[in-house]
Structure 1
Amino acid sequence: MDFRYKGKEDVTSSVSLLISILIRHPEVAKINFDPDRQVLRFTFIYAGTLGITELDGLKNKILTSIEIYNSLEGKKPEVVYLEYKQSEGFTMIEIQRDVDTLVQEEIALMVELFRQYINNKLVTEETDHLIDEDLVVQEELIEHMLESVKAKSENKRLYAFREEGRVLVFNK
């Protein structure tokens, strides 16, 4: 997989975080970082259009699971929001989470929920070249970068997505 950062600044913790999430979780189609709100926006793509009943059911299951996870961890997230958009035979589902209470395990939970609920039509990039050791390294890096982003006040609006086996990061 090829990684490119489209900007003149050095690679920051937030850039590394976005890259690591996209490498580790090929189910995440794109991810945005909003430094003003300290929010990460994860976008998943469903290959098809879901009905309102299906979308509301999916939304309820995912938000309830995130709420229960955080309750068990003793955390009260500031931002837990899910919205969706449909266009041209695809449904884009976006989850917003505040960085301050987010941990790598919750990201893994979100991805697993999408795998369970819409696996057969979840748009995913093939990553056969990653071995278990690489996955563990990426998970550790995600946790470390999340802690770093929480500690710093970075002000770059970042947008990262995958395209033809590459991860691209832009400073908006």
Structure 2
Amino acid sequence: MVFHYKGSEDITNSVSLLISILIRYPEVAKINYDPDKHNLNFTFIHSGIISDQELYQLKDNILSSIEMYNILEGKTPEVVKLDYNITDNLTMIEILRDVDTLVQEEIALMVELFRQYIKNSLITDDNESLVDEDLVIQEELIEHMLESIKNKSENKRLYAFRDEGRVLVFNK
């Protein structure tokens, strides 16, 4: 895939990052990039309404796992927040993370935690056409793009989501 934008390479790196995350992790329903705050907001969708008790337990388990991962890596994240929104018969769960301390392995951990805790109720897109080699390439791209946007100032808010098997990216 090749992207052409009027603007800097930074926009292309940001767009590539969001696309790579959505391609590699079909469990991520949408992702937003806020360049002013330098944050990524990951959204996962549970196909149903999660009770307050289950949400509290999910939040505690995921945040403590992310905290432990960062302690083991010797990092102190600036932003790690989990929030949710219930709409119709769906629960949208969002994790907000600062880009400066985020790495690809932590994204993989977040996704795996959702797979374990939500199991069959986690709405995912089909990426069965990707072979292991493609998945590794996407992981390498994610790591490279994260590193490239950490030290660059960008001014475009980006919003990416899935729609009928496609990944769409918009500039807010």
Partner of 1:79: 79
Residues 4 and 169, structure 1, Cα contact 8 Å, conserved in 2: no
Deviation at residue 122 of structure 1 after TM alignment:
0.2
Deviation at residue 4 of structure 1 after TM alignment:
9.6
SS in 2 for 1:100: coil
Q: Percent identity?
A: 70
User: How many residue pairs get matched?
Assistant: 170
SS in 1 for 2:128: coil
Q: Are 1:43 and 2:43 counterparts?
A: yes
Deviation at residue 53 of structure 1 after TM alignment:
0.3
Counterparts of 2:39 and 2:121, CA distance in 1? 27
Task: Note the 1:10-159 alignment, pairs <5 A.
Answer: 12-159=12-159
Residues 44 and 122, structure 1, Cα contact 8 Å, conserved in 2: yes
Deviation at residue 167 of structure 1 after TM alignment:
0.3
Q: Identify which of structures 1 and 2 has the higher relative contact order when contacts are C-alpha pairs closer than 8 Å and 6+ apart.
A: 1
Counterparts of 1:83 and 1:141, CA distance in 2? 27
Letter in 1 for 2:41: R
Q: Which runs of 5+ in 1 are unaligned?
A: none
Q: Which runs of 5+ in 2 are unaligned?
A: none
TM-score when normalising by structure 1 = 0.95
- Render the CA deviation track for 1:91-137: whole Å, top value 9, x for unaligned: 00000000000000000000000000001100000111000000000
Residues 62 and 113, structure 1, Cα contact 8 Å, conserved in 2: yes
TM-score when normalising by structure 2 = 0.95
- How large is the Cα RMSD of the aligned pairs? 1.6
Deviation at residue 12 of structure 1 after TM alignment:
1.3
Counterparts of 1:86 and 1:25, CA distance in 2? 22
